[in-house]
Chains A and B, each alone.
Chain A
Amino acid sequence: MTATKPVSAPVVARDLPPVDLAPLRRRRRRRALAQLACVLVSLFMVLPIVLVAFAALSTPDELAEFPKPLFPSALTLDTLRAFGSSTGVLPAFGNSVLAGLYTVVLSLVIGAPAGYALARHAFRGRDAYQVFMLMVRALPIVVLSVPLATIFLRTGFYDTVGAVTLVHTALAMPTTVLITASIFVAVPTDLEEAARVFGCSRAQTFRRIVLPLAVPGLAAAAVFTFVLSWNEVLGAGVLTIGHRTLPAQVLSALADSPQSYRFAGGLALVLPALLFIFLMRRYLLSMWGPRG
């Protein structure tokens, strides 16, 4: 150990100018305020859901009380059970799930090829097609559901899950095309070309290379479409009478149903939304990026 001791700067006791702590304090205060604002916004987003859950989980008697206690004295499933067993709710639930699934399949079958074409081909009329899709997206659904109801009535297609599926697919189509296009753009062309070099046909390349890489994105697009169909109420309400989807059923029963039915219906519609967002949270941003 012959190394010399590191030479440290001599400590000189000198009067340093006082440190100005004001900027630091201001910064800290600002961070605390931002933190507080975040919590407040979160409360605004979550509290209503908690409250409707409380309302749906309290007894009808307690619902009529005023002022209402924040926490119901006893949580009960009675209100929800009554909602579930009221006429039309269970079949409507089934119809909603069916319409959602059919919409997902149909919109992917029709929309994904178009998305692939937009992502991979440069061709004349590409812009025109995209403008067409954007224009369609801007059309309010109310414009097509009323005439479609008349058309379906004439063709005997009225009041079926299929009719609802068609409208929901039309509603979802522009988004499906744009989302699938952005998914396929993200699949590198090199891989596709390599597969072609090694003798895959176009169809094989798509099935073995492109599709596996696109599946996560396509799944996200599927969930998005399902949510769209699950939530849509106007078209479904206009196009069905006996075979309603859940939102259409709740909407049509609103006027002559007790408050307990409404809150239970509200909770029943809210719960799937929580699940959807949980499934989708990784894809939310890529989906609504400037390209989508």
Chain B
Amino acid sequence: MRARTPWLLLAPSIVFMLLLFGWPLVQGILAAFRVDGSFSLANWARMWNDAYFARALRNTVLLTVIVVPVQFVLAMGMALLLQSRPRLAGTHFYLWTIPLAMSELAAGLVWLSIFANHGYLNSFLSWLGVAPDGVGWLDYDNPAGMLFAVVVAEVWRATSLVFVILVAGLQMVPRDYDEAAQVFGASAWQRLWHVTLPMIRPSLQVALILRTILAIQVFAVAQALTGRNFPLLVGETYQWYVNLQNAAVASALALVVLAISLIMSVVYLRTLRRERA
């Protein structure tokens, strides 16, 4: 009886997750490979030949590759700043965590008020006299501008998550190590690299995997800022399902997102494990 108790408690969650993840996953795979009830790759061909697909794939990879490292450097800097016990540390901490509760869509709309053609950034630039008519940050023929806007919005929204994970990790590290290193004359840079970072390695791993997987799924930020002019993979899935009413191609796209997430997770886990050995 005692041995069965934990499984009785776990059972509801296992059944629930199998029903809501396992079943749809199987259904999705079936839908992506089937046309009129028989096996077919037509959905994949349609997805592949769509003009938006290549751009969406490139944008998603580009965004992830840029955003994740920037967020880590920024979040680490913020965590260290807070460790130096500045004045009003509590207030700063509260303000830096506000975006944590911000939805992607809200973040996109917030930055739309800044990057829009008649937005605050262009007003500021015009006031400075740098660009009297403003810059078309979000114009459809300005991919660099759109990428920049989406990156800034994403960095603003999701750096807080990395920051909080790192601060939580730093709190577990006794200050003695850092002080000992200081006594023995290690520079700030050496202490960061050889003492602090190795000590918070578990937090770094969690944050890295979580952030990368979430970055691959970003879409509402870009949708709010640029509409479909800066396509991302998940946004295309939404387009195919909601506006083009094609669940099969949407499923195929969703599987591409899944494949990228899985590959990234496996790569991370393997490289991180090898380094540990």
Contacts and interface: CB of A to CB of B under 8 A. Distances in A.
Nearest to A152: B24
Nearest to A276: B101
A211 interface: no
Contacts, number: 286
Interface stretch (A5-13, A85-93, A108-116, A185-193): A108-116
Interface in B72-128: 77-78, 81-82, 84, 86-89, 91-106, 108-114, 116-120, 122-124, 126-127
A99 to B, nearest CB: 13
Given A37-B81, A138-B265, A237-B238, A150 B98 contact: no
B51 interface: no
A199 interface: no
Contact of A262 (B24, B82, B112, B203): B112
Interface residues of B, number: 100
B10 A146 contact: no
| Chain A interface helix/strand/loop/mixed | helix
A111 B193 CA distance: 39
A51 B120 contact: yes
Contacts of A233: 103-105, 220
B86 A277 contact: no
A288 interface: yes
B185 interface: no
Interface stretch (B15-23, B139-147, B176-184): B15-23
Contacts of B14: 129, 132
A138 B265 CA distance: 8
B105 A290 contact: no
A288 B110 contact: no
A118, A234, A265 — most chain B CB neighbours (10 Å): A234
B126 to A, nearest CB: 4
A230 B10 CA distance: 26
B157 to A, nearest CB: 10
Contact of B234 (A140, A144, A247, A250): A140
Ranked 10 nearest A-B pairs via Cβ: A266-B109, A231-B103, A269-B106, A117-B9, A273-B101, A147-B28, A170-B20, A147-B24, A67-B123, A121-B6
Given A129-B14, A140-B217, 8 more contacts: A42-B95, A48-B111, A68-B123, A139-B258, A173-B13, A269-B109, A288-B164, A289-B172
Interface of A: 31, 34-35, 37-38, 41-42, 44-46, 48-49, 51-52, 54-55, 63-70, 109-111, 113-114, 116-118, 121, 123, 125-126, 129, 132-133, 136, 138-151, 166-167, 169-170, 173, 177, 227, 230-234, 237-238, 247, 250-252, 254-255, 259, 262-263, 265-266, 269-270, 272-274, 276-278, 280-281, 284-286, 288-290
